[in-house]
Amino acid sequence: MGYQPPKIKKSSSQYSGTKGTAKVGLNSDRSKAQIDFYKKEDGTEVNIKRIVVSTFPEYLKTGRWYVRMSSDDREVLSANPQKGMFTVRVNKFVAPENEEPTPRSREGNYNGKPYTYQEFYVWLETLKPDSFQGMPLFLTLRYNFDGEYIDMKGKQVEVVGYSHPQSASTGMLMDFCDATGVWEKGPMPFQANILPLMAKRIAHANKTFQIVYDEGWPKTIFNMDTEEEEPEKDDIKFEETSNFSPDVEDVPF
């Protein structure tokens, strides 16, 4: 049997805490953050859970975010803005210390039918807007790669190709690879885990690109080498909730 990526047990992960869309409020000296997780029901926001923490990223502001808590819900591990367009570059692929990145197996359910899929994770570094410079953004991508034989100088060579080409997840993966320069050196030889080589190619290319977030999730990746027009400054917005602040009656800071 060939390579089989490890399966992650959710209970053992530091990322197994509460996560989802939330309104964030900070007190005046930024010593506390109130995280109100909510969902929308019939167009109305319904609060699900309130968490107050004193450990959170420096970049966190009052506003709406997609928040990931630690397994004990005592720390904000990461947060993506609900909406906005950001100029970024790849910082690193997620992997245990001193180990190479590998795809991870996950379980899903479609119309009552369970299925498995693979994904991998990348940390992006924000370059613009200036007010968010240095902010890390967490990106999840499907590992929709497979081998395909092509003719190279009269020989059949197995190279990396995209699987599930009709999937929206594959479309996002393709945009990411194009924007980061994965294919600038041509075809990539296929192997069970292409992430280490992929990471090296991306680091060598050192590309910057733009990514659009909506509802806390990446929606579009723009290759900055294309003729896409850079958005006007007024279009690069972070959805803040200026009228939202910690409830001092319920949470006396």
Q: What is the pLDDT of residue 65?
A: 93
Grouped pLDDT means (10 residues each) for the chain, 253 residues:
47 69 92 93 87 93 92 92 92 94 91 91 94 90 94 91 92 96 94 95 96 88 64 41 40 32
**Which DSSP string do the residues of 127-172 spell out, in sequence order?**
EESGGGTT-EEEEEEE--EEEEEEEETTEEEEEEEESSTTSHHHHH
**Per-residue pLDDT at 196:** 96
pLDDT of residue 2: 54
DSSP structure class, residue 100: -
Dihedral of alpha carbons 51, 53, 57, 61, sign: positive
> According to the model, what pLDDT value does residue 226 have?
53
Cβ neighbours of residue 166 closer than 8 Å, sequence gap 6 or more: none
At residue 104, the pLDDT reads: 94
Q: How far is residue 198's CA from residue 231's CA, in Å, rounded to a whole number?
A: 29
What is d(CA 77, CA 146) in angstroms, rounded to the nearest whole number? 32
Residues 42-57 pLDDT 10s: 888 888 999 999 999 9
